[in-house]
Structure 1
């Protein structure tokens, strides 16, 4: 959330070297010292540099001035995200981007990027969210800057988007660390359950199988209390996969069948292809090949109907025949 970071980011984005930007305006060494945070520049020099970068001078000169109207919009965005009202949240994001192509306040700009990336993760637009986290949030804000946020929801969202980005980028140690920090700020039981679940995934990826199982069970207990049926299905299915890898076949079967029961009773038909596939893999290990093929073919039929990639199920079937 520092002016020199914003300046350096914009220059890099515009693909302008320090030498070219400084030419005719300020010495190269002075510009280097400014971008490193060691020195400030006069307003006149900043105006000239802003003009060369093609942005309003206020984007640099007014970086400590917050807009009341933008504060209201950010508060509305927080409220919609807390209520999972993603359509309304999207409208607020559009409104901000149209009316504030440059958010002068570095603090408000950071708040907006955090909330927008959180929104993008929640609506399954992960690649856009990761780009925003990597290109903007990681560049502009550090953990030590979180002391400036008076609303803990921004801190919660910050840790969530960083942890999720690390998980998606397969940086599992960092992901685990940030999900632990996220849990300390989780504002709801479901958020805590999500933290447990993602900690379980990170733990599994680090080959800590017993810890992964324990964490996934913690998540499942909360999801059951909250009657979050899709997440209950996902947890049973994931725990079943963990037990299958652990060669605890009876426990794996128990959780897979519970996931199947949830999917059928709650009409989660789009999830059936996943659990049928996993049951097929389980019964293959049991060497109950008739049951394995029955479930795998059911999964294959559903994948053809939904036009999901069936290759992994074809591969499992072929492995049984050969």
Structure 2
């Protein structure tokens, strides 16, 4: 990392203006030239600027920092204990606050990924905004991760088209850099998942197969299992159910071999979707129950499973079981009060509560005035189709045929939009 870029990054991090840093050392215009690498300052000037920033110039410490950074980057790449990740982050933050290191820029870029792993989305956005100011000095390797992590941020915010643009920019850097095969496959897997979100089924299959080829060679079987799940979803969508089940079973087998609860329950969740799609509610319920009853599964996954369980019981008119699961779902929802997904599950749970209790006015008001506008804003097309149809059928039974047609039309238009994405 060039010294000018390093000084600029440290100044921005510390909230100093060019005037603050330059005062009594150099002119502001000269500092600007140093920061933008339009001039080469003397060692004395660099030393004074670094002293004002509170930075040591120590090449021996930089070697240690580089090793620690590489270990921390790898921790962010694989599934690791969050406490260990935080501990390593705090140690590196202290070191990089006082020592000049060529690893600083990569550390700052990886902080975006770090905040996303911890669920600190506001901090991730703040970090992106800070780095925008110095992104003009990024080399190809920096840009690879910069685009990738910005894509991660957009994806977690439901902005999948923007995420895909970022991932493609990251992919364009591959012929200019050297990265591990696992890192390459991770990007390919991430692109596959994003194509899946965008309902680009053929591209989903293409990129998942690219990723799985690499993960197999690297004996990374948990990541292989994740690819099998994505392939299972893709084949389910094009109604190749036997092939879908084959991939899910492979994922489940690999999850069992590696004792990965996450993989096992993701597979169960998706097998539930599959059997629901083919009308086998009994099998669908069996798989959703496995996810709901596993306390080690993330709250978001358990909420997804239990709301799907409610839907299945409602579909087969098993209203007592649906009500029992609504009570459980409300308890889980309390644990997710400050999460990004709280609003979605709140609407789903209350939609079925009002429908089962025949609270027609509350049902119509919630779905028409709150839930459907929320889904449209989130561009959640799959749920928009489901709940537009549900509202349309409800209105039809109430004799409100004009309103019913409006929501049937919305469901059909949304379906066409999904097909044409």
Q: Give the TM-score taking structure 2 as reference length.
A: 0.54
- Is residue 295 from structure 1 mapped to residue 287 from structure 2 by the alignment? yes
Partner residue of 1:268 out of 257, 260, 280? 260
Partner residue of 1:124 out of 79, 93, 117? 117
Q: Name the CA distance, whole Å, in 2 between partners of 1:256 and 1:134.
A: 36
- Is residue 185 from structure 1 mapped to residue 177 from structure 2 by the alignment? yes
Q: Name the CA distance, whole Å, in 1 between partners of 2:275 and 2:61.
A: 57
Q: Go from structure 1 to structure 2 and tell me whether the alpha carbon gap of 1:298 and 1:206 turns closer, same or farther (over 3 Å shift).
A: closer
Q: Name the CA distance, whole Å, in 2 between partners of 1:167 and 1:183.
A: 21
Q: Counterpart of 1:160?
A: 145
Q: Counterpart of 2:139?
A: 146
Q: Name the CA distance, whole Å, in 1 between partners of 2:68 and 2:107.
A: 9
Q: Counterpart of 2:359?
A: none
Q: Go from structure 1 to structure 2 and tell me whether the alpha carbon gap of 1:238 and 1:72 turns closer, same or farther (over 3 Å shift).
A: same
Partner residue of 2:306 out of 304, 307, 314? 314
Deviation per CA, 1:64-94, whole angstroms, max 9, x where unpaired? 9953134223332355358759899977754
Residue 61 of structure 1, CA deviation: 7.4
Q: Go from structure 1 to structure 2 and tell me whether the alpha carbon gap of 1:162 and 1:67 turns closer, same or farther (over 3 Å shift).
A: farther
Q: Name the CA distance, whole Å, in 1 between partners of 2:261 and 2:221.
A: 12
SS in 1 for 2:173: helix
Gaps of 5+ in 2: 156-161, 316-421
Partner residue of 1:9 out of 7, 12, 28? 12
- Answer whether contact 1:63 1:104 (CA < 8 A) is retained: no
1:16-35 paired onto structure 2 within 5 Å: none
- Answer whether contact 2:251 2:267 (CA < 8 A) is retained: yes
Deviation per CA, 1:36-75, whole angstroms, max 9, x where unpaired? 97999x99xx9xxxxxxxxx96238799995313422333
Q: Go from structure 1 to structure 2 and tell me whether the alpha carbon gap of 1:292 and 1:277 turns closer, same or farther (over 3 Å shift).
A: same
SS in 2 for 1:214: helix
Q: Counterpart of 1:101?
A: 97
Q: Counterpart of 2:243?
A: 251
Q: Name the CA distance, whole Å, in 1 between partners of 2:9 and 2:259.
A: 49
Residue 283 of structure 1, CA deviation: 0.7
- Is residue 226 from structure 1 mapped to residue 226 from structure 2 by the alignment? no
Q: Name the CA distance, whole Å, in 2 between partners of 1:196 and 1:100.
A: 32
Gaps of 5+ in 1: 47-55, 148-154
Q: Name the CA distance, whole Å, in 2 between partners of 1:33 and 1:203.
A: 47
- Answer whether contact 2:265 2:290 (CA < 8 A) is retained: yes
SS in 2 for 1:191: helix
Partner residue of 1:137 out of 131, 135, 153? 131
Q: Name the CA distance, whole Å, in 1 between partners of 2:154 and 2:61.
A: 32
Q: Go from structure 1 to structure 2 and tell me whether the alpha carbon gap of 1:183 and 1:276 turns closer, same or farther (over 3 Å shift).
A: farther
Superposed CA RMSD in Å reads 4.5
Q: Go from structure 1 to structure 2 and tell me whether the alpha carbon gap of 1:174 and 1:265 turns closer, same or farther (over 3 Å shift).
A: closer
SS in 2 for 1:169: helix
- Is residue 175 from structure 1 mapped to residue 167 from structure 2 by the alignment? yes
Residue 282 of structure 1, CA deviation: 0.3
Q: Go from structure 1 to structure 2 and tell me whether the alpha carbon gap of 1:293 and 1:60 turns closer, same or farther (over 3 Å shift).
A: same
- Answer whether contact 2:10 2:53 (CA < 8 A) is retained: no
- Is residue 69 from structure 1 mapped to residue 69 from structure 2 by the alignment? no
Residue 313 of structure 1, CA deviation: 1.7
Q: Name the CA distance, whole Å, in 2 between partners of 1:89 and 1:263.
A: 24
Q: Go from structure 1 to structure 2 and tell me whether the alpha carbon gap of 1:280 and 1:248 turns closer, same or farther (over 3 Å shift).
A: same
Q: Name the CA distance, whole Å, in 1 between partners of 2:108 and 2:71.
A: 16
1:188-207 paired onto structure 2 within 5 Å: 188-207=180-199
- Answer whether contact 1:277 1:295 (CA < 8 A) is retained: yes
Q: Go from structure 1 to structure 2 and tell me whether the alpha carbon gap of 1:140 and 1:201 turns closer, same or farther (over 3 Å shift).
A: same
Q: Give the TM-score taking structure 1 as reference length.
A: 0.68
SS in 2 for 1:227: coil
Give the number of aligned pairs: 288
Residue 245 of structure 1, CA deviation: 2.5
